[in-house]
Every structure is written in C-alpha cells, then in structure tokens.
Chains A and B, each alone.
Chain A
Amino acid sequence: MNQHSKACFTAEQLQEFLAADEGELYSMLGTLAIASGTPIDLLEAGRAGKLYQAPPTVLGSGQRPFKHSGLEQLGKAFLAKWATQLRKAICENDHLLKEEKARGKREVDVLIATIVASITSNIPELQQFSVLLNVLAVIIVRSGVNAFCQDLS
C-alpha cells in the first residue's frame, strides 16, 4: 500500500471533517500549508497580518466555527500555486470521477486515499505532506470533484 494512502483520520474524525464548514477546512488547509512553504513565506505572511485575527463576535456560547480569513487565504493560495498540477491529478482523472460515483458514499475512506495517491503521483514535491493532502482530499470529497475543479479554474 502506498504510504500516503494510509488513513490520517479515524472514521469518526473523517465524518466530522466532512460535516465541517468549507471555511473551516480551508483554514485547516492554510494552517498545514504553512509547513509546505519556506520560512520567508511564513515571515512575510506574519508581517502582512495574515495570521492575526480577533475572536469572532458571535451571538452566543457553545461551539463556534474555526474560520480564519488569513489562513483561508493561505489555503487558497496553496491551491493556486499548485493549480495546474492539481487539475491534472484531479480534474483530468476519469478514474477518480468513476471512483467518486462508485465509492463516494459508502467507501469514502478509499476515495480519500485514491485522491491522495493521485496527487502524490502527479506532484511528487507534495509527497511528504500527507496530512495536508488528506485534508485537501476531504475538501474535494465534501464539495465534489466537479465543484472543486470549477473553483480551481
């Protein structure tokens, strides 16, 4: 088994992620994307204020969404940086679309692993960031491959 297809999450965690808000997942992706950049990227992001955010003024207690506009931007910047390769790995991958239809509901963990494997085979530079790729795969599964590809373009 490809080491990158190993599940990063438990089944329960996976359901939690799939039920999360899109902004939360992009905030997670942005957080993880920091590690895939260079130290100077991090310094510049910090100096640009992208890592600061005041607590949200929500109208109540209890669980609040993890939404961080700066981290979301970093997550989206990561996608933009690798858009060409991701398009090839995800959007031009007929096998993936078939897998989504066949396994999307019941074997979502297999679909996640397939997406991660497809990305790592197309973008070897990202092989070492398996947690980031698993979060990215969750984003793709949650929104659907077609919708993800539309956003990517």
Chain B
Amino acid sequence: MPPTAENPCERLADLIPAYSIGATDPDETAFVQAHLAECPEAVAHLAEFAHLAEGLHYAAPSAQAPTRLLTAIRRQIAPSPAVRALRPVRRWVQGIAAAATIALIVGINLFWAARLEDAERRQAVLRAQLTDQQTALALIGAADVQRVSLPAINPAIPDAPPAATLVSAPNQAVALLTVQYFPALAPDKAYQIWLIKAGRRVSGGLFRVDSEGRAMVIVRAPMALSAYDEVGITPEPADGSAAPTAPPIVRGPIWP
C-alpha cells in the first residue's frame, strides 16, 4: 500500500516495534528506511526497541551444548596440508566478499536477500544486514549525532534531484547514509562513498539502490569521522575504485 498523506512519523511509530525484530514486510521495511532519518522520535523509539530485541536473543531457555560439538569444530579447523596451501587464496576471496558486503543495505528482512539466488551468499547478506543494523542503532543512540543533507551535483532530472542524508557523530568511524532518487545503475556498477580531507579521498563503502533509487547504508571510515571534511558519492565499477572515476552524484560537507 503506498504511503498516504498521513504524517510518515506516525506510521513509523507503529512500525518500529516490528521493524526492530525484522518482522516488517518488504514495503513496510522500505517505508521505515525511507523516513527514519527525518523522524527523530522514531530514531529514539527504534533505539529503545533495539534494546529489547537484543535482550530477546538472550531469553531462550538455557540448554547445554553437547561436548561432541567442540570436538567436531576442532576437527574442522585443524589445518591440513591441502587447506594450508589454499588458505591465502581463500582468505583473499573472503576479503573480496567482505568488501562487497560492506555495501549492504540496512534492514532485517529478506527484501534484498530474496533477490539473490545463491543460498550461501544470501545467508552472508542476511548476517551482514543484521550486524549493520546493530551498528546503525549504536550510532543513532550516540549523544552527539548530527544530520546533514548532501546537495546534488548537476542532477539529470532537476525536479527530482538525487538526495542524500548523512547521520554521523564526530568520534565514530561509522555513519548512517540514506539516499533517494539516485539513478539506477548497470549490474556491473555500484555507488561508492568517498570521505574527503584536504582533497584526499578514501572509500567509505559501496552500495546499490532499489528500483526507486533508495538505499540506507552504513558508511565505514578508516578513522573517526572528525578527520574528514566532506563526503561524496560517485558511480563506480561494482568492486569499487581506488579513486573516483566519475563526477559525484552528491557532495557536501560532513558537518553542519
């Protein structure tokens, strides 16, 4: 059901409890992600329910793990000559996979994962989404959190220019980025976030947008965000670039 003229913050308040445990349907999840940054009360509300969600993980009845499990795990991690020979390559591949998951959209349910056919990758995506959400919740609970809008640079459609909002705190190395009206990209492309200090750029992660040009992303910086002045977003190859290869979609100061 499309959003109506109702106050989105009121609908958000209704959805936050279910969203916090991943029980919202895809359209509801998209609605929460699209409007969260503009509803400060909902952000606080979400932080409260996230605490409950965390507690529920510990609320399962206690059971004793069978001792044979540790034996099985030890057997599985014991290095064999073949495994040792493969390890450097395998870890390199894992590194690429980890880099790809950095770009994952925040959200608990299967909205994105359902689009991926490979079961193992889907599972990795789900896990990364959850850990990213935990990161986002920790961030939005920070006392010195600030919010800035990043202006579009030469938008192709002036009436609906790409828009981005960054929620960050100076002493954190992560930030929450929401975007909308971003142009769709070819499958071999992704958007790359750049953190800028005195003309030097470092990558803050990769992401893709949904069919309506929206995304919510965790930005990861090598150091606390107070070390940077600006942030920009450019379209790049899906694996990312060492430096921007295209003009920015949006760019602006990190701090108000």
Do these two chains interact?
Answer: no
Question: Which residues of B are interface residues toward A (Cβ below 8 A)?
Answer: none
